[in-house]
Structure 1
Amino acid sequence: MLDAPKSKPKDLEAIARTGGPLRRMAARVPTYLTDLKENPAWLPMFLLARTMPFRRAHWLTARPIPSSATAPSMFGGIKAEKAAAELRRNGIFTGLTLPPAIHEEIARFARETPCFGNFERKVEFLAGEHAEAERRFERTILSGHHFERVLQCKAAVAVQQDPLLLNIARHYLGGEAKLITTRTWWSFPTKSASEADLSRASFKFHFDLDDWRMLKFFFYLSDVDADAGPHVYVQGSHNRRRMKHQLTLLVGHSAEDVLGFYGKESAVTLTGKAGTGFVEDPFGFHMGTLAKHTPRLMMEVGFGVSKPSKRRYHGEPVIR
């Protein structure tokens, strides 16, 4: 019987999931410094965009929506205005569905294209070889990202360029909304993770702080039930924020802390067949739970209002 692989200390995802607050922040310092060097305006955003007064002030700078003809969308007759209104109320809008030919093609691409485990380019493998990869690299592998390779998939590019996505983003974020992230990734079940790994991975709510104003579209590319790593979103947490959640550099908080303030009834667990999609304001608390039995394949298309960094375009952290 083979011994279970052990996570190596330099594994950024393992640190982020299992380390203490100071250790997690220290692991992200190279990423923060890279962001700051590339764009000095990142620092005031990082420090101030977590506070409601500064966020609301920035929303007042939103530009008018440019007038343009409505182009056909793969998502049918969904109205951008309706989606934006729902986003303003709850922080999330569901009901997006990818055509079968599109999500099947992206899933095929993801199966046939090597991914990078736990954000490390040295940990490269095919998703179907996950168990063998854990033995070969002697570590727990919880995720596999394709980074810039996703742009080799015509179906994925068609999704990111669909006019409805930009139209919803402009109605919600303002006329300056632009594409800033596109990525596909696997979330893997693993027998080698400790109970502590599983607990921390499953019950850590967080909010994203990559821009002053953001919107993220998510699409399941595999069937996702309660045991396949469903995404969870806390409705209403995008426009109200507990003071202690504003006055800390940490973006992650326990489920008890988050749901104790925003209410258990506010948490929505999103399940669905392959092709199911939704869009959310990622400043609201959310989390992706760990897949228990089968891998989860997901796609994200993000929009923001600031200049995108080369690194953020593919969601890759900086590891040293």
Structure 2
Amino acid sequence: MLVSPSPRSNDLETIARSGGRLRRMMARVPTYWADVRENPAWLPMFLLARTMPFRGAHWLTAKQVSLPQNTTPSMFEGLQAETVVEALRMDGLFSGLVLPSEIQEGIALFANETPCFANFDRRLEFRAADHAAAETRFGRAILSGHHFDRVLSCDAAMAVQRDPLLLDVAKRYLGGQAQLITTRIWWTFPTKSASDADISLASFKYHFDLDDWRMLKFFFYLCDVDENAGPHVYVRGSHRRRSLKHQLTLLVGHPASEVLGFYGEDKAITLTGKAGLGFVEDPFGFHMGTVAKETPRLMMEVGFGVSKPSRRRFHGEPVVR
């Protein structure tokens, strides 16, 4: 039998949820402060880029780009940049990139042989195959393992980063200022010991990215990803419209019911596929990585933006106090 919650229980749930959000914001304060100190222009971006009027105004500063004929062949044969950009403008998402098998296998081999860092913490180092033992050794749930700057020593990953199609798409979509800002490889692990707070802090909820005024991110699955391996989810079209509530809050993460209630449940697409599948998205649109239930997910990201990247830390790495 279903029992409707009392107004009192709803109030308590709201207070608890608000407290959790406040704790998440406070945990990020050191990172935000360091970002402002390194680049004062970060603060107006962080405050204003979430609003459609200011965001639209910034898009008007995109430089026209006259792209020369590139003589370097792309590993993504037969794919035209115009096709990708057209889908991005309409949906915020294009799925149809496929890594050559030797590239996918090379990155996966690197990620399996090279130690990663648990939950963004460089003090917690382990190999992916030792995930269960690492949880016991560190005495905590491990939801993710990031390789951070170690990715720069992976030749196969660097080949993807340098592929001319990626920059071509980025410049056509973001404007002539587009530049590489992120390259990363990370694991998402199934675990039975994670708390709701762990899951929330790991961004397993709908959110949008505010790393720059304008961004584009290419993602590649480096292993088979089905519904039980933590597939990526994107809300199509949410990069072009935004509820007033989502513009006037400092929070970038919001409950699924709230997001899908406004943008439409039919707009959410879950991306599953074989190892090597790639897709590109405008990360201002709502998206999330789901929790891996049975098998780990290994993923690569190559991101482009229009502002200088941080030299103080590698992408995704918080300030360690």
TM-score norm. by structure 1 comes to 0.92
Alpha carbons 2:223, 2:297 under 8 Å: kept: yes
Partner of 2:173: 172
Alpha carbons 1:311, 1:317 under 8 Å: kept: no
Q: Which has the larger radius of gyration?
A: 2
Partner of 1:101: 102
Shift of the 212–152 alpha-carbon distance from structure 1 to 2, 3 Å rule, reads: same
CA deviation map 1:111-148 (0-9, x unaligned): 00000000000000000000000000000110000000
Partner of 2:90: 89
CA deviation map 1:215-273 (0-9, x unaligned): 00000001000110000000000010000000000000000000000000000000000
Alpha carbons 1:18, 1:196 under 8 Å: kept: no
Shift of the 313–193 alpha-carbon distance from structure 1 to 2, 3 Å rule, reads: closer
**3-state SS, counterpart of residue 76 of structure 1:** coil
Alpha carbons 1:52, 1:241 under 8 Å: kept: yes
Matches of 2:200 and 2:320 in 1, distance apart? 25
Which amino acid counterpart does residue 126 of structure 2 have in structure 1?
F
Partner of 2:57: 57
> 1:77: Cα distance to partner?
1.8
Partner of 2:8: none
Partner of 1:117: 118
Shift of the 198–308 alpha-carbon distance from structure 1 to 2, 3 Å rule, reads: closer
Partner of 1:233: 234
> 1:81: Cα distance to partner?
1.3
Matches of 2:127 and 2:83 in 1, distance apart? 40
> 1:214: Cα distance to partner?
0.1
> 1:67: Cα distance to partner?
2.7
Matches of 1:244 and 1:202 in 2, distance apart? 20
Partner of 1:78: 79
CA deviation map 1:92-112 (0-9, x unaligned): 011000000001000000000
> 1:312: Cα distance to partner?
5.8
Matches of 2:106 and 2:264 in 1, distance apart? 39
Partner of 2:283: 282
Partner of 1:4: none
Shift of the 26–277 alpha-carbon distance from structure 1 to 2, 3 Å rule, reads: same
Bigger mean CA offset, 58-67 vs 251-260 = 58-67
Structure 2 residues not aligned, in runs of 5+: 1-16
Shift of the 226–165 alpha-carbon distance from structure 1 to 2, 3 Å rule, reads: same
**3-state SS, counterpart of residue 104 of structure 1:** helix
Partner of 1:11: none
Alpha carbons 2:146, 2:185 under 8 Å: kept: yes
Which amino acid counterpart does residue 245 of structure 2 have in structure 1?
K
| Aligned residue runs from structure 1 range 156-305, under 5 A | 156-194=157-195, 204-305=205-306
Count of residue correspondences:
304
Matches of 1:312 and 1:72 in 2, distance apart? 32
Shift of the 198–33 alpha-carbon distance from structure 1 to 2, 3 Å rule, reads: closer
Matches of 2:78 and 2:54 in 1, distance apart? 35
Which amino acid counterpart does residue 105 of structure 1 have in structure 2?
G
> 1:315: Cα distance to partner?
2.2
Partner of 1:130: 131
Shift of the 143–19 alpha-carbon distance from structure 1 to 2, 3 Å rule, reads: farther
Provide the aligned C-alpha RMSD in A.
Answer: 1.7
**3-state SS, counterpart of residue 77 of structure 2:** coil
Alpha carbons 2:224, 2:275 under 8 Å: kept: yes
> 1:194: Cα distance to partner?
4.0
Shift of the 84–223 alpha-carbon distance from structure 1 to 2, 3 Å rule, reads: same
Matches of 1:299 and 1:311 in 2, distance apart? 21
**3-state SS, counterpart of residue 106 of structure 1:** helix
TM-score norm. by structure 2 comes to 0.91
Partner of 1:317: 318
Matches of 1:196 and 1:137 in 2, distance apart? 18
Which amino acid counterpart does residue 294 of structure 1 have in structure 2?
T
Structure 1 residues not aligned, in runs of 5+: 1-16
Alpha carbons 1:206, 1:253 under 8 Å: kept: yes
Shift of the 136–18 alpha-carbon distance from structure 1 to 2, 3 Å rule, reads: farther
Bigger mean CA offset, 201-210 vs 143-152 = 201-210
CA deviation map 1:46-94 (0-9, x unaligned): 0000000000000000001133122310001211111111100000011
